[in-house]
Amino acid sequence: MKSDRQFRAWLAIAAVSIAAACGPKHVSSPGRPGQDLVVLLPDSDTKTTGAAGVSNPLGSVDLAAERDAARVNPGSAPVLTKLSEAEVQRLFGDALSALPPAPRRFTLFFRFESDELTDQSQALIPEILAAVKEHAVQDVVVIGHTDTMGTQQANYGLGLKRAMMVRNLLISAGLNGSTIEATSVGELDPIVKTPDETPEPRNRRVDIAVR
């Protein structure tokens, strides 16, 4: 499997070089008019590399390793290749520099049927404030959740009460309220799936996204 991939990669590079060597002068690698190029890059936050497939009606290639790339010319199958770090920088340096910072997510937990935070969650507040300050544009979304005890409607209300409580907490800690959105989904998006009327502390929570 592995050697098959390397073989295909080698073929792809050879094909591109031949095209570049034999074609007219203005055709150079990488980049022919109308050509699409898709490159797999490592995730800058987790330092891991995902996977992607590039396909059209004529064929497909899998991108599995850092800087694996697919070149696709109109009317032909995608071709697997690999870019150097210098090529990635030359082609994508500007676009990469415009990527916003990675959003951060926090979950705060609540005492049963209340809008009071657990002690551990209360202790997370300074970390949330620090994360907001890392982002040039403040944009915070607060979503309240409940367990399945009580009616859906009552839980929507309780979720909203929890979200508003956290919003107020963040405002009193110095954040601008106009950029904090508070909403509720009640019992509809639990972390732990349970039957109705089940007390579950892990579902009594507020999710905070700092973007």
Residue ranges in contact with another protein by CB under 8 A = 30-44, 49-56, 70, 72-75, 78, 88, 91-103, 105, 135-137, 139, 141, 185, 188-189, 209, 211
Distance CA 55, CA 76 (A): 10
Q: Half-sphere exposure of residue 204, counting CA atoms within 13 Å on the CB side?
A: 20
The least distance separating another protein from the CB of residue 40, rounded to whole angstroms, comes to 6
Other Cβ atoms less than 10 A from the Cβ of 74: the count is: 10
Nearest one of 148, 159, 163 to 196, comparing CA atoms: 148
Closest CB to another protein among residues 113, 181: 181
Closest CB to another protein among residues 72, 149: 72
The least distance separating another protein from the CB of residue 119, rounded to whole angstroms, comes to 28
Distance CA 15, CA 95 (A): 28
- Whether the Cβ atoms of residue 139 and residue 201 lie closer than 8 Å to each other: no
Distance CA 211, CA 208 (A): 10
Closest CB to another protein among residues 60, 114: 60
First-to-last alpha carbon distance for the chain, in angstroms, is 40
Closest CB to another protein among residues 85, 119: 85
Closest CB to another protein among residues 123, 188: 188
φ and ψ at residue 205, rounded to 5 degrees: -150, 165
Distance CA 171, CA 58 (A): 55
The least distance separating another protein from the CB of residue 53, rounded to whole angstroms, comes to 4
The least distance separating another protein from the CB of residue 10, rounded to whole angstroms, comes to 22
The least distance separating another protein from the CB of residue 138, rounded to whole angstroms, comes to 9
The least distance separating another protein from the CB of residue 95, rounded to whole angstroms, comes to 4
Closest CB to another protein among residues 91, 172: 91
